[in-house]
Structure 1
C-alpha cells in the first residue's frame, strides 16, 4: 500500500513553473500600474524569477532562494528606504491575487487562504522594512508557510 503524503503549498500551487508564470505576468502588470510602476522603476529583469524562488522557498520548496540570493536578510534589505505606502501595499496584494486567478493558480479555499495569508503578511513586512524605523535585519530564516500554520513574527526588542 502506498503511503499518502500531504503536498507542500508549492506542490499544490503547481511547482516553481507555476510561480514563475505568476510572477512574470504579475510584474508585467506592475510595470503598467501608475501607482506601482514608480516603486519598481529600474527593476532587474530577473526580479520576477527571484520572487518566484522566494515564494517557492516560503511555500516549502527547499532553500534555493537562500542559497542563491542570501535568504531573509537579502529580501528584507531590498525594501529598506523605499517608503512603500499603504495604498501601494494594498494595490500590490490585490493585483497579485488577481494575477493568481489570471494564471490559473488553484482556487480552492484552503490553498487561497494560505497563499493570501502569506501575501498579506509579507506585504506588511515589506511596509515595515521600507519605513523610517525598520527593525534590524538579522539572519532570520526565510519563513515557511504550511497548511493551517504560519510562522510567528516577533518585533525586535529594543
Structure 2
C-alpha cells in the first residue's frame, strides 16, 4: 500500500458519525458506573460530542474541536485539572471505552486497535497526571496532538 492511499485513523474508524456513536455509548455506560459517574456527573449535554470531535481531530479528521467547539489541547487538559483521577478510574475508563468500541463494531484489525489503544493509554495517563495539577501545563498556543498508524503504517493488509 503506498502512503498516499493510507486512510487517516479518523476515516478508518468511520468518521465523525462513528466517533459520536462511540462517545455517546461510552458516556451512557459512565453514567451507570459507580466509580466514574461522580467524575462526569456535571458534564454538559454536549460533552460526548466534544470528545468525539477532539478524538476525530487528533486522528486526522476535520478541526471540529478547535473551530466549531472553540477548544484546544490546552482546554482539553484544563478539564482534568483538580479532578484527582486514580489509576483505577483510568483503567475503568479504558475498559468501558474499548468495550464500547467493540459493541459498535469499530475496526478490530491489529493496526487500528494498536493505534487506538496507544492513543487512549497515552491520553488517559496524561489526564491522570494533570488531574493533580493546580495549573495547566499546556500553553494555549500548543498544537493539538496528532496520532497516526505508527509502524508499519496503515490498516492490516492480509
TM-score higher than 0.5? yes
Q: In structure 1, how many angstroms separate the alpha carbons of the residues matched to 2:108 and 2:135?
A: 34
User: Deviation string for 1:19-42 (max 9, x for gaps)?
Assistant: 000000000000000000000011
Q: In structure 1, how many angstroms separate the alpha carbons of the residues matched to 2:147 and 2:137?
A: 22
Deviation at 1:94, TM superposition (A): 1.0
Task: Provide TM-score, normalisation by structure 1.
Answer: 0.88
Q: In structure 1, how many angstroms separate the alpha carbons of the residues matched to 2:50 and 2:96?
A: 18
Deviation at 1:4, TM superposition (A): 5.6
Question: Following superposition of structure 1 onto structure 2, how do residues 20-99 of structure 1 map, counting pairs within 5 Å?
Answer: 20-67=20-67, 68-99=69-100
Q: Residues 128 and 134 of structure 1 are in contact (CA less than 8 Å); yes or no, is this contact kept in structure 2?
A: no
Q: In structure 2, how many angstroms separate the alpha carbons of the residues matched to 1:54 and 1:7?
A: 18
List gaps (5 residues or longer) in structure 1: 150-158
Deviation at 1:129, TM superposition (A): 1.1
List gaps (5 residues or longer) in structure 2: 152-158
Task: Provide TM-score, normalisation by structure 2.
Answer: 0.88
Deviation at 1:55, TM superposition (A): 0.4
Deviates more, 1:125-134 or 1:114-123: 125-134
Question: Following superposition of structure 1 onto structure 2, how do residues 3-18 of structure 1 map, counting pairs within 5 Å?
Answer: 5-18=5-18
Q: Against the structure 1 CA distance between its residues 84 and 105, is the aligned structure 2 distance closer, same or farther, given a 3 Å change threshold?
A: same
- Counterpart secondary structure, 2:54: helix
